[in-house]
Amino acid sequence: MGIVESRQDSRLILSTDVRLDAVSAPQLAEKLEHIALTDRTVKLLVIDMSKTIYLSSLGLRVLLQGLKVMKSVGGNMLIQNINSQIRPVFEMTGLMELMVREEKLIILRKDEARTGITLSLAGKLTDETANQFEAEINRIADKYADIYLDCSDLKFISNDGFKALKAVRDRVSKNKDGILTLVNFPESMKRLLAVEKLDELLYLSPVSVKAESGKVFFSLAGNVDDLAAPALRKHLEQILKNKKVKEIYFYLGSLNTVSKQIIITFVELWDELVKTGIAVKLTPVNPDAAG
């Protein structure tokens, strides 16, 4: 397939292929040098490595050289969407720190399923990176209905960052049964999330909703505390109004601890669910992914 090129004003995106090795790296090097030296309208060069699962030492040197050349002509180069297969290469060489300093926010792909994807956010979601975050997640939402954001390495969210998060939530919800979920959200920022009325995104959301099959899948991840109780109640009350739902699965495979308020909320609504004829099942295995 080779290198795919797309343009957004002064921003040029190059999507690399599955392997960046002795064969493909020279091709990328030639393209990077040509862009830097002949197209002065490009101010930001983005290397999208979402499809790349192998990166050789030559490929790494080409990326470093590309960054150097772009800076020499007054531009910049960023690397985005590094997946788990090649992330250790960047960490061991120190390029990960370079990207944090240059990009300030890193979005990494951790896991992909049929309808959902888990992304890892590292760094700061600031006024400067909010547009980048919104654009990237919106692009991913075109392909995946459910998006999980692992925020364990997220250090800060600004006002514009929260606005971008709200915009992304609204964009994902426009998909058929699409859900945005925040996983491992830092304790220090949970109250701000509640103030922005985004705490419903914490931890607990349906993995998917299949009205035609009459099933709803919930996923409980990490340490589910009192802040997640409103989200649980909201989702369960919505299900009670949906006459097509016959089964609810609670996936507990990623659950560490659960608060007393969550248990109370669950017990309060249990009888109502049973009265409507809805079967409630707890499972360590995600039935949607298995099926």
> Over the stretch 108-122, which tens digit does the pLDDT of each residue have?
776 776 667 888 887
- Residue 249 sits at the vertex; the CA angle it makes with 170 and 110, to the nearest 5 degrees, is 55
CATH code given to domain 204-291:
3.30.750.24
Residue ranges of the chain that CATH labels 3.30.750.24:
1-80, 104-202, 204-291
Phi, psi values for residue 7, rounded to 5°: -125, 135
Alpha carbon distance 119, 137 (integer Å): 9
- Taking residues 158-173, report their average pLDDT: 89
The reported pLDDT for the residue numbered 102 is: 45
- pLDDT band for position 288 (cuts 50, 70, 90): very low
The CATH architecture to which 104-202 belongs is 2-Layer Sandwich (3.30)
Highest mean pLDDT among 46-55, 77-86, 267-276: 46-55
Helices and strands per DSSP (H, E), number in the chain: 10, 14
The reported pLDDT for the residue numbered 290 is: 42
- pLDDT band for position 208 (cuts 50, 70, 90): very low
The CATH architecture to which 1-80 belongs is 2-Layer Sandwich (3.30)
**Over pLDDT 70: what percentage of the chain?**
80
Instruction: Encode 76-87: b = buried (16+ Cβ within 10 Å), e = exposed.
Output: ebbbbbbbeebb
- Taking residues 55-78, report their average pLDDT: 88
**Does 232 have pLDDT greater than 80?**
no
- pLDDT band for position 58 (cuts 50, 70, 90): very high
As given in the structure block, the two tokens for residue 291 are 């099926």
pLDDT: is 200 or 46 the higher one? 46
**Over pLDDT 90: what percentage of the chain?**
11
**Does 200 have pLDDT greater than 50?**
yes
Residue 142: how many CA atoms within 13 Å on its side-chain side?
5
pTM of the model: 0.46
The reported pLDDT for the residue numbered 103 is: 52
**Does 164 have pLDDT greater than 90?**
yes
- Taking residues 177-187, report their average pLDDT: 78
The reported pLDDT for the residue numbered 107 is: 79
- DSSP code of residue 187: G
The reported pLDDT for the residue numbered 117 is: 83
The reported pLDDT for the residue numbered 56 is: 92
Nearest C-alpha neighbor of 65 from the set 53, 47, 86, 82: 47
